[in-house]
Structure 1
């Protein structure tokens, strides 16, 4: 899910699925102003005639072209702002590869011309949101489950642990942040498997969204 808003607000201004949909066949939406692609809730509502793509898998961006479309939709249609007029705060998974962070930065500055930006670990912001600078954050979303230990604003994970060897021993954790590639997506897949075994065919990306709705409404 994409959550977007403004600093100082109590809640996001916009929440929508990180989905990009494209028509399966050209001309099937004649008279409806067919577009090359649809994003978020609009893609969700037209899923029966679209091929849906998920540019974020297990918390990591895997399709930058589609991710750029989602960001454009966020700025222009959800928040209705000019990105070049607003500094941007983006979140990332705790073990997000450095190359991905660099690509995020490149797109924001070169494509959207933002004046400034910062990338923060999701778990750290969750800790801030509860008024704490120390804690263990368990975050299970659609694509990834993260366990993030935080001490004095520092996210401790294996790649950065050596940076803090000179600090007090109580501030260094032997075990570190973990990312499990098991979350809501996998539960949806398991429910699809059960339904298929019982004779209900759910195979397309659009049908996956139906199963996801069932899971979320009945769980």
Structure 2
């Protein structure tokens, strides 16, 4: 540990820890295109990572086993598999809950966004797992933003664009309206 460092607030420290985790996630962790074979994972070359404090560590098989929990719940310790879903299950269940007429277009227009999508091989692995869940009549197409910044903040960017549209402003529900009418106001304003 480095000595004589200035004191920082708890929130700043938490933010910086989160930054290190995100950097490590995108630099070290990787998913294979198919479910991993433990013997193959053990033979992968080490990937070094240097922490801000100067400590350096080489990561071996754990760099593919850790993210595998997103696609195979047997890698998640102390969990009940009946209460959790894999990423592919979340996507196919969400699409399955939509109107049957739009399911094919949803499968052909999946957009991957968020921090976990920055892991190497995430899109390819999701594609592999969804092929088995997608109806054979549907064409599966998964896209992701080309830059890490767009991928990480894609939902926020899309939300800000949507909120700035004039047609969407008519659907806004104010706190006063919600308090006056209740949750049924959402169904009235957003048919």
| Normalised TM-score (structure 2) | 0.33
Higher RCO (C-alpha under 8 Å, 6+ residues apart): 2
Richer in strand (by share): 1
Q: Which structure's CA Rg is the greater one? A: 2
Richer in helix (by share): 2
